Chains A and B, each alone.
Chain A
Amino acid sequence: MKVTGTVELVDLEGGLWRLNGDDGKRYTLIGARNKLESAKGTRVEVEGSLDEGFGIGMSGPQLRVQKLRKI
């Protein structure tokens, strides 16, 4: 799936990458840490797989990043 939104580094659990989606949802971003670092605070389009998976975030669905594009 593709979601657009803003990348944010949230100070929770030692640092969580979050996508504040234009759809109003908050996604915990998994993987691609280096790309996320450079995209911090910017608007992006993320292509990835969504799961209700388990992790340290515990604050919404997890989006496993496959492609990330600044818009």
Chain B
Amino acid sequence: MLFNMSAGTLRARPGLGERLLVAVLAAGAVFALGLAGCSRTPAPVVEMSADAVPGLIEVELRDPAALPGKVVDQEEQEDDLYGDMLSSEYTFELEVEPGTEAAVLAQLRAREDVIWAEPVLRYQGLWVPDDPDFSRQWHLKAAGAERAWDATRGEGVTVAVIDTGIYPVDDLDPGRIVKGWNFVGKNDDARDDHAHGTHVAGTVAQSTGNGKGVAGMAPQARLMPIKVLSASGSGTSHDIAEGIRFAVDHGARVLNLSLGGGGRSLAMESAVAYARRRGAVVVCAAGNSGSRGVSYPAAYRDAFAVSAVGPQGRLAPYSSFGPEVAIAAPGGDKSQGEEAGVLQQTLADGSTREAAFRWFQGTSMATPHVAGAAALVMSLGVSAPSAVEGLLTSTAKDAPENSAERYGAGLLDAAAAVRKVTLWWGLWRLAFALLGAWFAIQHARSLGQLRAGEKPGALFWAGLGVGAGALALLAPIAAERISLLSFLALPPAAWPQRYLPPVAGYLGWSALVPFALAFPARLSSRPMRSAFGGLVAGLAFGWAGVLLHAALWRTVALPWMPALLMPLWLLAGAVVAWAVGRGLFTREPLR
């Protein structure tokens, strides 16, 4: 069935199912190419439209000169990387009387010194949350949450908030708060009696889709409340270390530690090292000293330290900094006004337990933006802490000033991190899979197992695409708008780890599945002639591509597997998966 013979004698024409598959795959490929290319297609000059922000205009000039309206933001472009600028250029954001935008634009465009002028457009992701106060959460937008949500909202990842506890306020989905522990009171009531932990939890995963309040970075992630700080907001190194170990042992993959102190506790240091070894990302606040010197636990080698920036992306005056800082994220800067803080729902007052929406500032508020972003990329099947950290740092935006001590790798951009996984990693996996398949086909030809003109059919390529996780390329279209389909955003090799207990990760991150499926396929004398055989062969090559990518990019961590052996395990799996696919070209049935 699956060979299109050039002589055309063995079968007359492809069946309807096969044609449909080809059509769907082709449409998908065209769409993916369109997505990849859309940023490069020159679009018509922007005019006033429904997307335009009323009263705002952006203009670029050769020289700063008198401009109509009030300048709200300006930038000088002098870093002439390509040597194509004759002199500095200046970009201004102007506030004008709403309704006069079109007239002002026409006037500006007529001027000699104006390079371009256009309305400021409101960007909308494919998926927009329905929270009425989402528009006031500048910090989520700055952290790149909006566009990241097109591909994932953090399904399947548990984030432990190791803090003053979490109070189940009405804008947190109670179904997403898992069982935690109260190390202060030594009981299982880990509800907040302060306000800090609930605010932090809100930034990680405040509910959306409920038409209420505000949103969080990873609204579909689960929250684990670990209370280690008392109602006064302080706690001991012992309780914090215990809390870290408890969280990891109970399935948390991201730990948020919006706390710190000056003392270097060895108990806490070894707990942080344990957590990372067990596959958790430990995100910690750099501290609020406003000076050089990162507090502990952020300063530990295995922690991921976060400094805080304000709405313009500049280091907040209170933020600590130092060589340990890994990344910067919005923590608010209320010296610019109340609304320049981070807005979440929390307790109005620890003692009354009434909920309220509050603007907080602090490196504690920056940290959960990073923890939420870590949950987003982990929900895409990236499980090695070093890979998660590497994704976040390598995709960080440039900071406004060149200072690694203040900003680490730069400003958090969750959308860029997510895009790197769904688009670039997706393409690498597919490329590896295709290369493996091409090599196997050539080899089979050279041995006469495949005659000239014989080629694998549509189901082979469909299997390869699915196995390689090519559906992830389509993730920005639908996967996360329909939660049940979110598994499509990650390759099948990652499914067991995501939906089953951690040890089941071995089912996916090995050649076991294609290996097992190949047995029934090889019972027939020409496996590739059967629909099932072709599908399994394709799946095996796809699987091999994913395993090879995971080995080279070191994206996976599994329980008990030492980090050094992990790539070798995956590489061996890739070789076996490839051999399984290659074996299906045989003309001999398995005996």
Q: Please list the residues of chain A having a beta carbon within 8 angstroms of any beta carbon in chain B.
A: 11-14, 16, 30-31, 33, 52-62, 64
Contacts and interface: CB of A to CB of B under 8 A. Distances in A.
B199 A53 contact: no
B156 interface: no
Given A14-B195, A14-B199, A61-B262, A54 B285 contact: no
B263 A52 contact: yes
Contacts of A55: 229, 232-235, 259-261
Closest 6 CB pairs of A and B: A55-B234, A54-B261, A52-B263, A58-B287, A58-B260, A59-B288
A53 B363 contact: no
Contacts of A12: 288, 318, 361-362
Contacts of A52: 261-263
Given A13-B364, A14-B360, A59 B318 contact: yes
Interface in B274-321: 285, 287-290, 295-296, 318, 320
6 contacts: A14-B199, A14-B346, A14-B362, A30-B233, A52-B262, A58-B364
A56 B318 CA distance: 13
Interface residues of B, number: 39
Nearest to B263: A52
B358 interface: yes
A54 B364 contact: no
A65 to B, nearest CB: 9
Nearest to B268: A54
B236 to A, nearest CB: 7
B158 interface: no
A54 B260 contact: yes
A11 B361 contact: yes
Contact of B261 (A13, A16, A53): A53
A59 B259 contact: no
Contact of B360 (A13, A30, A58, A61): A13
A67 B458 CA distance: 80
B199 A58 contact: no
Contacts of A57: 233-234, 288
B196 interface: yes
A56 B229 contact: yes
A69 to B, nearest CB: 20
A54 B235 contact: yes
B176 interface: no
Contacts of A60: 262, 289
